[in-house]
Amino acid sequence: MPISESLAQQAEAVRNFNRFYTRQIGVLDEGLLASSFSLTQARVLFELGTRKTVTASEIGELLGLDAGYLSRIVQNFIAQGLITRQPSREDGRQWMLSLTSEGRRAFRNLDRASHKLTASHLSRLSEPGRHRLLTSMQEVQRLLSPANGHGKVTIRTHRIGDIGWAIERHGQLYADEFGWNAEFEALVAGLFAQFATHHDPATERMWIAAVDGERVGCVFVARNADDPTAAQLRCLLVDPKARGLGIGKRLVDECIGFAKNAGYTRVLLWTNDILASARRIYEAAGFSLVSEEAHHSFGHDLMGQVWARAL
Q: What is the pLDDT of residues 188-239, one digit of tens each?
A: 999 999 999 999 999 999 999 998 888 999 999 999 999 999 999 999 999 9
Residue that is last in its domain, among 114, 144, 174: 144
Return the half-sphere exposure (C-beta side, CA atoms, 13 A cut-off) of residue 256. Answer: 16
pLDDT mean over 6-21:
86
pLDDT tens for each residue of 255-297: 999 999 999 999 999 999 999 999 999 999 999 999 999 999 9
pLDDT mean over 88-98:
78
Highest mean pLDDT among 15-24, 122-131, 198-207 belongs to: 198-207
Asked whether residue 183 falls in the same domain as residue 110, the answer is: no
Asked whether residue 126 falls in the same domain as residue 160, the answer is: no
Compute the mean pLDDT over every residue in the chain, rounded to the nearest whole number. 90
Q: Contact at 8 Å (CB) between 213 and 224?
A: no
Q: Contact at 8 Å (CB) between 182 and 171?
A: yes
Q: How many domains does the structure of the chain reveal? A: 2
Task: Report the percentage of the chain scoring pLDDT > 90.
Answer: 55
Query: Residue 159, SS3?
Result: coil
Confidence of residue 1 (pLDDT cuts 50, 70, 90): low
Asked whether residue 212 falls in the same domain as residue 261, the answer is: yes
* Alpha carbons 233 and 278: distance in angstroms, whole number: 12
* Alpha carbons 239 and 277: distance in angstroms, whole number: 12
Q: Contact at 8 Å (CB) between 285 and 249?
A: yes
CB neighbour class for 162 (10 Å; exposed up to 12, middle 13-18, buried from 19): buried
* Alpha carbons 121 and 108: distance in angstroms, whole number: 20
Asked whether residue 131 falls in the same domain as residue 71, the answer is: yes
Asked whether residue 173 falls in the same domain as residue 133, the answer is: no
Asked whether residue 164 falls in the same domain as residue 298, the answer is: yes
Residue that is last in its domain, among 102, 122, 144: 144
57 or 200, greater pLDDT = 200
Residues of the domain holding 50: 5-144
- How much is the pLDDT for 159? 95
Across 12-40, b (16+ Cβ under 10 Å) vs e yields eeeeeeeeeeeeeeeeeeeebbebebebe
Asked whether residue 133 falls in the same domain as residue 212, the answer is: no
Residue that is last in its domain, among 144, 168, 190: 144
pTM of structure: 0.61
